[in-house]
Amino acid sequence: MAALEPSCSVVVPTTGRASLGALLSSLARARGPRPDEVVVVDDRPQQTPLLVPEVPGTVRVVRSGGVGPAGARNRGWQEARGDWIAFLDDDVLVPPDWAEALRRDLSGLTDDIAASQAVVEVPLPADRAPTDWERGTAALSEAWWITADMAYRRSALALVGGFDESFPRAFREDADLALRVRRAGYRVVQGNRRTEHPVRESRPLASVRQQAGNADNALMRRRYGRRWRRLIGEGPGRIRQHLLTTAAATGAVAAATCRMRRTAVAAAALWAAATAEFAQHRIAPGPRTFPEVREMLVTSALIPPAACWHRAAGELRAGMPRRRSGQQPPAAVLVDRDGTLIEDVPYNGDPDRVEPRPGAAEALDRLRAEGLPVGVVTNQSGIARGLLDQQQVQAVHAEVERLLGPFKTWQICPHGPDDGCRCRKPGPGLVERAAAELGVAPSECVVIGDIGSDVAAAESAGGSAVLVPTERTLLPERRRASHAQAVAPGLVEAAELVLEQR
């Protein structure tokens, strides 16, 4: 019996740009089996109807109300019906063979492959060197995992919670999603279909406005460490040079204000040299026309302070959820058992069924190496339900320690959800008992868990939490944790966040 073709929905987030009509028309002209549906997500905040050209095929329009690119894509894939979701930007064009090529790319992919990336082509002028703006757009053809044309398996999106709406711009949210999907055990592969990404018309000072993306860079660094650019296939950025240039300009102004003439002249000279080097770096490859050179000179002076401003704001926002006002640095780590430390087997009393979650051993090794006591806090309502006894629970815990090493404390709630106890998460009792046994304050404890009750237990005890989402994690729980606490794609990353808090 022949294998069924995978069902595929196309999702296009838009703010109503005129290029949307050209994309939909190119989709309509694509030969071969059409996608099962095209879902256009209207992300304009206003309520006026979105004008969508009439094209053959099934096109649905849903509203997301101005939540931003990440939120619009989430609304799109949640509304779509396909097993695969092909995300397209509203300013790309697909060739006539795109639908056929998409089917070929997706057919036969094994279950461990979560996504297929298209080859993105950026047409550049043949009669002259490209401008700085055109070169920036052309870099998309070499970028990893961009959603200009990226097809994701629906089940993989559901597992990691889709796009992270903490990213407000269409800049790093696609790379963040791919990293989380890969760390969940999936692969991302390169497909053979091709998509054209035309260069949009540049507006004055567009490169200065683009520096807002430095705030997203701060969030990427917070989540994936200092080498995050290597993880997404990028070379080093220029933020250090921008910091030097901005510091020189600030120093020149401060010294002049204080009438420190020599210091002001030296700082001004450093600023001028750094700005000239940056401008030359951008002017040399281009057409060197008068308008281009003028734009490069002006923006090369404005970009460094703009980049530093947005990076500082991003670092502040990225760091805010990590520690609330009055909260102490972590002195102990408490880990949820089922779904976080080990695979979730409902009401498990069999040690042979214990299987550590990915990264559990490495994360625990890092925490213990830093001298942090690690304990376990777990709800075991199977005891109250008569499905388990204390001996079975202890046998499972002995196997966990055999596989992952000893824990400083085990705190168990044996009650059912209707017993009204204080210890069952999301109540604070388990955290408070663990803190007392470890000799630390509850506010000094970090709880690592996979669902909202783990986060709520930490908060109700006055501590902090790191959410490590799994397929059990509800999207509202993930969103709440991203605003109130911290979210990590895996246990190793969760351990790194805890160590950063110290």
Per-range mean pLDDT, top range of 37-51, 339-353, 452-466, 486-500? 339-353
Do residues 363 and 489 touch, judged by C-beta distance below 8 A? no
**Separation CA 217–CA 318 (nearest Å):** 10
Q: Which residues contact 226 (CB under 8 A, 6 or more apart)?
A: none
Check residue 160 and give its pLDDT.
Answer: 76
Beta carbons of 115 and 39 less than 8 angstroms apart:
no
Higher pLDDT: 271 or 29? It is 271
Contact 484, 458 (CB under 8 A): no
Q: End-to-end CA distance of the chain, in Å?
A: 58
What pTM does this model have?
0.66
Q: What does the pLDDT read at residue 3?
A: 44
Confidence band (pLDDT; 50, 70, 90) for 1?
very low
Q: What is the pLDDT of residues 269-303, one digit of tens each?
A: 999 999 999 999 999 998 999 999 999 999 999 99
Bigger pLDDT: 376 vs 459: 376
Q: Could you give the percent of the chain with pLDDT greater than 90? A: 58
Number of residues assigned to the chain = 502
What tokens were used for 347? 């009401």
The pLDDT assigned to 2 comes to 39
Which overall architecture, per CATH, does domain 8-202 show? Alpha-Beta Complex (3.90)
Q: Please report, as a single letter, which amino acid is at residue 381.
A: S
Q: Of the ranges 180-189, 357-366, 430-439, which one carries the lowest mean pLDDT score? A: 180-189
Separation CA 250–CA 246 (nearest Å) = 6
d(Cα 405, Cα 448) in Å, to the nearest integer? 17
> What's the rounded Cα separation, in Å, for the pair 284 and 130?
11
> 461-478, pLDDT tens digit by residue?
888 899 998 888 877 777
Active-site residue list: 336, 338
Please name the helix (run of DSSP H) or strand (run of DSSP E) that holds residue 113, with its range, or none.
Answer: strand 113-121
With bands split at pLDDT 50, 70 and 90, how would you rate the model's confidence at 321?
A: very low
CA distance 382 to 63: 43
Q: Is 60 exceeded by the pLDDT of residue 57?
A: yes
More confident of the two residues 57 and 28 = 28
What superfamily would CATH give domain 332-501?
Answer: HAD superfamily/HAD-like (3.40.50.1000)
Among 42, 44, 98, CA closest to 73: 42
Over residues 34-40, mean pLDDT: 88
**Among all chains, which residue has been given the structure tokens 């990225």?**
318
**Token duo for residue 333:** 């780590």
Q: For residue 426, is the peptide bond before it cis, meaning its omega torsion is within 30 degrees of 0?
A: yes
Q: What is the DSSP string of 201-253?
A: PPPTTHHHHGGGHHHHHHHHHHHH-TTHHHHTT----SHHHHHHHHHHHHHHH
Q: Which residue has the tokens 């298209």?
A: 118
pLDDT value of residue 322:
43
Closest CA to 458 of 478, 474, 435, 475: 435
Tokens 């005890």 belong to which residue? 461
Q: What is the pLDDT of residue 293?
A: 94
Residue 344, amino acid: D
**Separation between Cα atoms, residue 218 and residue 234, nearest integer Å:** 15
Paired with 39 in beta bridges are 11, 60
Q: Is the peptide bond before 304 cis (omega within 30 degrees of 0)?
A: no
Task: Give the position of tokens 């959603």.
Answer: 147
For the chain, counts of helices (H) and of strands (E): 18, 13
Residues 485 and 501: their CA atoms lie apart, in Å, by 12
Residue 391 has pLDDT above 60, yes or no: yes
Rounded to 10 degrees, the C-alpha dihedral 152/153/154/159 comes to: -100
Six token digits for residue 40? 């256009």
Categorise residue 122: left if φ over 0, alpha if ψ from -120 to 50, beta otherwise.
beta
> pLDDT for 202-257, tens place per residue?
888 999 999 999 999 998 888 788 888 988 888 888 999 999 999 999 999 999 99
Q: Going by DSSP bridges, is the β-strand pair 113-121/149-153 parallel, antiparallel, or unpaired?
A: antiparallel
Q: Is the pLDDT of residue 67 over 70?
A: yes
- Which of the two residues, 98 and 33, has the higher pLDDT score? 98
Q: What is the DSSP letter of 356?
A: B
Q: Where in the chain is the domain with CATH 3.40.50.1000?
A: 332-501
pLDDT at position 483:
56
- What is the pLDDT, as a whole number, of residue 343? 94
Compute the distance between CA of residue 120 and CA of residue 101 in angstroms, rounded to an integer: 13
What residues does CATH 3.90.550.10 cover in the chain?
8-202
Lowest mean pLDDT among 99-113, 159-173, 184-198, 284-298: 159-173
Task: For residue 149, give both structure tokens.
Answer: 């044309």
Identify which of 438, 408, 435, 440 has the alpha carbon closest to the alpha carbon of residue 423. Answer: 435
For the ranges 78-82, 403-407, 488-492, the one whose mean pLDDT is highest:
403-407
User: Which residues lie closer than 8 Å to 60 by C-beta, 6 or more apart?
Assistant: 37, 38, 39, 40, 79
List the structure tokens of 283.
Answer: 């002017």
**Confidence band, pLDDT 50/70/90 cuts, at residue 484:** low
| pLDDT surpassing 70 at residue 194 | yes
Percentage, residues of the chain above pLDDT 70:
94
As a whole number, mean pLDDT of residues 331-345 equals 94
- In one-letter notation, the amino acid at residue 143 is A
Alpha-carbon distances, residue 350 vs 347, 360, 391, 396, 406 (angstroms): 9, 20, 11, 6, 19
Average pLDDT score over residue span 412-425: 87
Give yes or no for a contact between 150 and 144, defined as CB atoms under 8 angstroms apart. Answer: no
What does the alpha-carbon distance between residue 174 and residue 71 come to, in Å, rounded to a whole number?
12
